[in-house]
Amino acid sequence: MQYTSQMIFLYFKNFEKGCEFLEKVLELKEVFNPGWAVVYQSVNQGFIGAVKAEEGSIDSSKKGGSLISLTVEDIHEAYEVIQKRYKYVSEIKFFEDIHLYSFLIQGPEEYTFEIQSFNDQHLEAIF
């Protein structure tokens, strides 16, 4: 079996606010819109979908913990850009054991987004 793409779908009660966050704060490009959902491309074959909570295919009232991580080349540039657009942004932290710089964004409806950058050639090649 070989996978060809990866998607994560976020169910929003306030669909318009969720879409606005993905478009304006994270600057993701819309690639598909059937009306009840919008799919945005994050990287090559990676996608994040916003779904109208009441119209999706799962019961979105039951939520587990999740973290949506997006990798960038320049963490400081990404931090500067996003901090100007959105107020719920943590400080940049460095996790020495995994050679990772990251900051968190508290998005709509309690979804947490991480912007990350690896400081290790092997991990950069993987991610």
pLDDT at 49 (0 to 100): 95
pLDDT at 35 (0 to 100): 93
CATH class of the domain at 66-127: alpha beta
pLDDT at 60 (0 to 100): 80
pLDDT at 112 (0 to 100): 93
CATH of range 1-54; options 3.40.50.2000, 3.40.47.10, 3.10.180.10, 3.40.50.300: 3.10.180.10
Question: Which residue ranges make up each domain of the chain?
Answer: 1-54, 66-127
pLDDT at 56 (0 to 100): 83
Contacts of 68 (CB under 8 A, 6+ apart): 8, 10, 48, 107, 111, 112, 113, 114
Same fold for the domain at 1-54 and the one at 66-127? yes
Q: What is the pLDDT of residues 41-85, one digit of tens each?
A: 999 999 999 999 988 878 887 776 788 999 999 999 999 999 999
Q: Does residue 126 carry a pLDDT above 90?
A: no
Looking up tokens 């929003």 gives 12
Q: Return phi, psi of residue 38, to 5°.
A: -135, 130
